[in-house]
Amino acid sequence: MVRIGLFIVLYGLIPAVQSYLYIIDLAFVTPASALNYILSIFSYYAVFSHLLISVKIPRMQHILPYDRMIKFHALSGILLTLSIYYHGAFKLLSGKELEGTSIMLFFLWTFLLFLAVIWIETPFSRSIRNVLLKRFVVLKRIPYDLLKGIHEYLFFAFAIITFIHINESDLLYSSYSFITVYGSGFPIAVLALVLYGRLRRFFFPRFTVMSVRNEADTLVLTLSSAGKHSLRYRSGQFGYLKVLKKGMNREEHPFSFLSHAHEKEVMLGIKSLGDFTRSIQALLPGDTVSINGGFGNFIPSADEKPKVFIGSGIGIVPLVSLVREMRHTPLKGVADVFLAVTLREELLFEEELKELEKTIENLNLHLYVYKEDGILYTSELFRQAIGNPEQAHYFICSSPGVREIVTSALTSIGASKKQIHFEAFSY
Ligand SMILES: Cc1cc2nc3c(=O)[nH]c(=O)nc-3n(C[C@H](O)[C@H](O)[C@H](O)COP(=O)(O)OP(=O)(O)OC[C@H]3O[C@@H](n4cnc5c(N)ncnc54)[C@H](O)[C@@H]3O)c2cc1C
């Protein structure tokens, strides 16, 4: 509730008051120009909120959790698209001069949109993306990290040009001085956070690779630090891994913790998908990596409500960590844990989990190995295993396809969508 309130105040109430005070100061205004001012002022704040996404400061998790910021990013992206194209159309149709910065913003935004569409698959852009990638096969070959880097730097340039443009247009000036002060102070505060985020990189906790073990398709990385490290995370969360080895990809990639916070060593379970995850295979004991974390809200509440954890494939990683953590933080309610993999080797910590089930009274494990039992998740399977489907809270981590099957199976047995929480391994 506090978070929603903060978002409403920062990106709704303040821009609304600012738009109102700006417009009432004007001698003449038409509905079309008023809409142009309103969209521009709302977009101004949205642009700087986009920059916050690259900041990645774990302490900010409580106020602005990363997953919510990503959702807000998608929503405010729609507002920005509307605003920029409306701004161009309004100026052209009303015969006003289109300034250099407006033209730059128009082209830069169009290019950023194109990059976003080919870079990440989202429900909004999936069909356009598929058409583009099919027609221009060369686009498929552009590495994810390169697209991400270009997007980040160009967006930074976009934010700076927005600041200049809004200042040129006098939109920040008002007879109410607090409007001007807040309007200029907001981007300065965001830029200070961005700078702080950049500087933090030099101080991320560093770890030495202890072992690199292959379990079928999953690579289990065990990391240790010489002294007490400053990495703080909770089971269910993820961190950004960066390899500090000459000649290796220096981009940071997100991975859920396989270990839990009570362990001295940090463990990650990594599945090879592309350039970065393949290059990890070349890590050797003694190499150095850094981790920025923990992030994410894939953490069950500590109440007595029954909890159901459902994972498949590499998506079992955060769930294994949550179950292993139960040894130290006892459960208040019943927990049903469903883990499904293709090969038995992928069932990480199988023995330990089974031992835990014997000692933790309210923990029920449901383990499936497809190559051995041929079992897949269905509504019938969940109906038989889950006592009170209407009351439970669900935590799912799997590929998007399995997630859809599981969600519809759960809703068909009485779970409401509000009770279902996800960890998506992509964004
Ligand atoms: C919150 C979260 C937790 C994750 N936990 C795990 C885990 O425990 N184990 C595991 O094996 N994988 C995990 N992943 C996925 C992992 O980050 C990607 O598989 C990996 O970054 C792929 O990089 P690549 O260069 O090998 O593949 P690429 O070919 O570059 O990418 C393959 C796909 O992976 C995704 N991806 C690539 N880079 C990133 C990135 N920097 N950020 C987000 N998504 C990316 C994209 O959807 C992309 O299409 C997690 C992802 C997220 C967002």
Q: State if pTM tops 0.75.
A: yes
For residue 56, the model assigns a pLDDT of: 86
Q: What percent of the chain has pLDDT over 70?
A: 100
For residue 427, the model assigns a pLDDT of: 62
- CA-nearest of 278, 262, 259 to 270 is 278
For residue 178, the model assigns a pLDDT of: 84
Cβ-contact 11, 42 below 8 angstroms: yes
Which ligand 1 atom sits closest to the C-alpha of 218? Answer: 11
For residue 321, the model assigns a pLDDT of: 97
Convert the pLDDT of each residue in 192-217 to its tens digit.
999 998 899 899 999 999 999 998 88
State whether residue 72 is helix, strand or coil.
Answer: helix
Mutate to test the pocket of ligand 1, among 273, 281, 403 (most ligand atoms within 8 A of CB): 273
Which ligand 1 atom sits closest to the C-alpha of 318? Answer: 8
CATH topology of domain 204-294: Elongation Factor Tu (Ef-tu); domain 3 (2.40.30)
Pocket flag, ligand 1, residue 295 (CB < 6 Å): no
Pocket flag, ligand 1, residue 426 (CB < 6 Å): yes
Domain 2-202 has CATH 1.20.120: yes
Helices 144-168 + 177-200 axis angle, to 10: 160
Domain coordinates in residue numbering, the chain: 2-202, 204-294, 307-422
Cβ-contact 372, 291 below 8 angstroms: no
Euclidean distance between CA atoms 59 and 99, whole angstroms: 40
Rounded to the nearest angstrom, the distance between the alpha carbon of 279 and the centre of ligand 1 is 13
Q: Whose Cα sits closest to atom 47 in ligand 1? A: 426
Query: Which residues are within 8 A (CB) of 358 and not within 5 positions of it... i.e. 6 or more apart?
Result: none
Low-confidence ranges of the chain (pLDDT < 70): 229, 427
Q: Which residues pair with 37 in a beta bridge?
A: none
Convert the pLDDT of each residue in 128-142 to its tens digit.
999 999 999 999 889
Euclidean distance between CA atoms 80 and 421, whole angstroms: 28
Pocket flag, ligand 1, residue 270 (CB < 6 Å): yes
Q: What is the DSSP string of 181-193?
A: HHHHHHHHHHHHH
Cβ-contact 278, 263 below 8 angstroms: no
Give 307-422's CATH code, choosing from 3.40.50.80, 2.40.30.170, 3.30.565.10, 3.30.365.10: 3.40.50.80
Pocket flag, ligand 1, residue 238 (CB < 6 Å): yes
Q: Whose Cα sits closest to atom 36 in ligand 1? A: 426
Q: Whose Cα sits closest to atom 39 in ligand 1? A: 253
Rounded to the nearest angstrom, the distance between the alpha carbon of 411 and the centre of ligand 1 is 28
Euclidean distance between CA atoms 229 and 235, whole angstroms: 17
E strands, 296-384, are: 307-312, 335-341, 363-369
